[in-house]
């Protein structure tokens, strides 16, 4: 892996830039009601998100030890999606300081993008609603035929689009999925502890860079930048 000199920063969406947990929790609850199951807690919802909404629903059903056949699962998933598409930003909001920080990074010349395991249409709607004026270079969720994180394909696609190498792209997320995505793509990473995974789980990941605040994230970004520049000089 070459030493990184960061020119672009890709962010995960849920749990990294935006607190979406309550809208997702209520969407899961809407689907579970069809099976006479009680609403999931916020803690359980945080535990199952990160690998797409379909896997979140599977995770909740497994936690309840509630089995359904494939056809019924598809119905529940569509019920969940329909509800979420109508209520995707009722409670969701950017974390404190995120909007200002993105603006700061953009003014510093970084290309800024978003790469999420959420359905592509929902990802773009949430971003356009909560960040209506920000000039993202790329916003991508999951599409049919496109591998989910932690597959590196999304980062490679972004690199081809903007003409960069993976070692020039920093990936920022909040979970083991994001950590593995960056490792698979051979790009530097930072994990934020304000998202959906307990900090101790993040710290247990090999060589994980974990920060607690926006200020620490800024320091980590410029630390990676400075270290790469020094080693290339």
Sequence ranges of the chain with CATH classification 3.40.50.1000? 8-19+92-232
The pLDDT of residue 227 is 76
CATH, range 21-86:
1.10.150.240
- 41, 38, 44, 72: which is closest to 59 by C-alpha? 44
Instruction: Tell me where in the chain the CATH 1.10.150.240 domain(s) lie.
Output: 21-86
101-128 pLDDT, tens digit per residue, is 999 999 999 999 999 999 999 999 999 9
Dist. CA 124–CA 102, nearest whole Å = 17
Q: What is the mean pLDDT of residues 92-101?
A: 98
Confidence of residue 233 (pLDDT cuts 50, 70, 90): low
Q: In 52-91, which positions are buried (b, 16+ CB within 10 angstroms) versus exposed (e)?
A: bbbebbbbbbeeeeeeeeeeebeebbebbbebbeebbeee
pLDDT tens digits, one per residue of 170-214: 999 999 999 999 999 999 999 999 999 999 999 999 999 999 999
pLDDT confidence tier of residue 145, bands split at 50, 70 and 90: confident
- Which tokens go with 63? 């936690």
- What is the tens place of the pLDDT at every residue in 38-73? 999 999 999 999 888 999 999 999 999 999 999 999
Instruction: Give 2-17 pLDDT, tens digit per residue.
Output: 555 899 999 999 999 9
- pLDDT, residue 52, reads 85
Q: 118: closest CA among 93, 162, 85?
A: 85
| Topology at the third CATH level for domain 8-19+92-232 | Rossmann fold (3.40.50)
Asked whether the predicted pLDDT for residue 230 surpasses 80, the reply is no
Sign of CA dihedral 206, 192, 85, 122: negative
Across all residues in the chain, what is the average pLDDT? 94
Q: Tell me what pLDDT residue 2 has.
A: 52
- pTM higher than 0.75, yes or no? yes
Residue 225's pLDDT is 82
The torsion defined by the Cα of 11, 13, 18 and 21, in degrees rounded to 10, comes to: -150
């Amino acid at each position: 892996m070459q030493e990184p000199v960061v020119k672009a920063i890709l962010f995960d969406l849920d749990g990294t830039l935006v607190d979406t947990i309550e809208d997702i929790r209520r969407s899961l609850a809407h689907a579970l009601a069809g099976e006479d199951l009680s609403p999931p807690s916020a803690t359980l919802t945080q535990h199952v998100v990160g690998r797409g909404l379909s896997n979140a629903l599977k995770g909740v059903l497994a936690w309840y030890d509630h089995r359904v056949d494939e056809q019924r699962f598809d119905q529940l998933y569509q019920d969940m999606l329909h509800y979420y598409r109508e209520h995707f930003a009722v409670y969701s909001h950017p974390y404190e300081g995120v909007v200002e920080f993105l603006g700061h990074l953009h003014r510093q010349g970084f290309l800024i993008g978003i790469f999420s395991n959420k359905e592509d249409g929902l990802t773009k709607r949430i971003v356009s609603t909560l960040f209506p004026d920000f000039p993202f270079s790329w916003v991508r969720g999951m599409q049919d035929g496109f591998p989910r994180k932690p597959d590196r394909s999304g980062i490679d696609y972004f690199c081809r689009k903007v003409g960069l190498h993976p070692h020039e792209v920093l990936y920022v997320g909040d979970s083991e999925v994001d950590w593995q995505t960056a490792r698979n793509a051979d790009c530097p990473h930072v994990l934020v502890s304000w998202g959906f995974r307990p900090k101790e789980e993040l710290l247990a990941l090999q060589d994980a860079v974990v920060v607690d605040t926006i200020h620490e994230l800024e320091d980590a970004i410029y630390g990676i930048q400075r270290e790469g520049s020094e080693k290339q000089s």
